[in-house]
Amino acid sequence: MNFEAARANMVDNQIRTTDVTSHSVLTAFLAVPRETFVPEKSKALAYIDRDVEICPAAAGKAARYLMQPSPLAKLLQLAAVTKEDAVLEIGTGTGYVSALLSLLAGSVVAVEEDEALAAEAKANLADYANVSVVAGSFAAGNTAGAPYDLIFVSGAVEEVPASLLSQLRDGGRLVTVQGYGNSARATVFVAERGAVSENVFFNASVKPIAGFAKAREFVF
């Protein structure tokens, strides 16, 4: 399979057609070999416009996926990443989004709860000098590297905990998809002068990431 041609087709036919015009984002998608970040058996599926499983469900844990290219590109464009940004990625999986972010940002800290995936991400990202992979809780983030200019959550959440928002620099933003299914929305939280504002943009149906469900309340 000609992966370079498949990568160009992905950018032209899946990403550009969804109103992604950011030169830096398009260039990153052309530069990062997506096939490197999927299991061997799925490499032929690396450039289809859908989520690709990177870790099957096991021991009560849901399967993990590499996000579909088109919504991922729109979210990265929405994040407006610059070379001055210190970025925290939540849910790096095998490292693909961190690889993209490494070409857009100054530095990237990638958090992964699954130890096997964290080890795989470290191996996949060995040549990306401005990325460090940290094994730990998604909701806890990584306070050691805070504050961050951008926190990018690689999956849908029901709510964003204060534990993450507190790791934003003043003027920093957190980009995620809030909600599940077709009603979910790309959302940007901005920290300013001790307060956090929330701005909703476009619909985006992506796979959820564990650890961000609302606490259920008892009704008497």
Domain borders along the chain are 3-203
Place of tokens 């998604």: 138
| pLDDT number for residue 152 | 98
Q: Residue for token digits 């933003």?
A: 173
- The confidence score (pLDDT) of residue 98 equals 98
pLDDT of 216 reads 60
How confident is the chain (220 residues) per 10-residue block, as mean pLDDT? Answer: 95 96 98 96 93 88 92 97 98 97 98 95 97 95 96 95 95 95 92 92 91 66
pLDDT for residue 217: 56
pLDDT value at position 197?
Answer: 94
Strands (E) located in 5-137 = 52-55, 64-66, 86-90, 107-112, 131-135
Please state which CATH class domain 3-203 belongs to: alpha beta
Q: Backbone dihedral region of 122: left (phi > 0), alpha (psi from -120 to 50 degrees) or beta?
A: alpha
Q: Please state the pTM of the whole predicted model.
A: 0.94
What pLDDT does residue 207 have? 92
pLDDT at position 12: 97
Per-residue CA distances from 206 to 16, 44, 153 (Å): 19, 21, 11
What is the structure's pLDDT at 157? 94
Query: What pLDDT, on a 0 to 100 scale, did the predictor assign at position 212?
Result: 84
Size (the chain), residues: 220
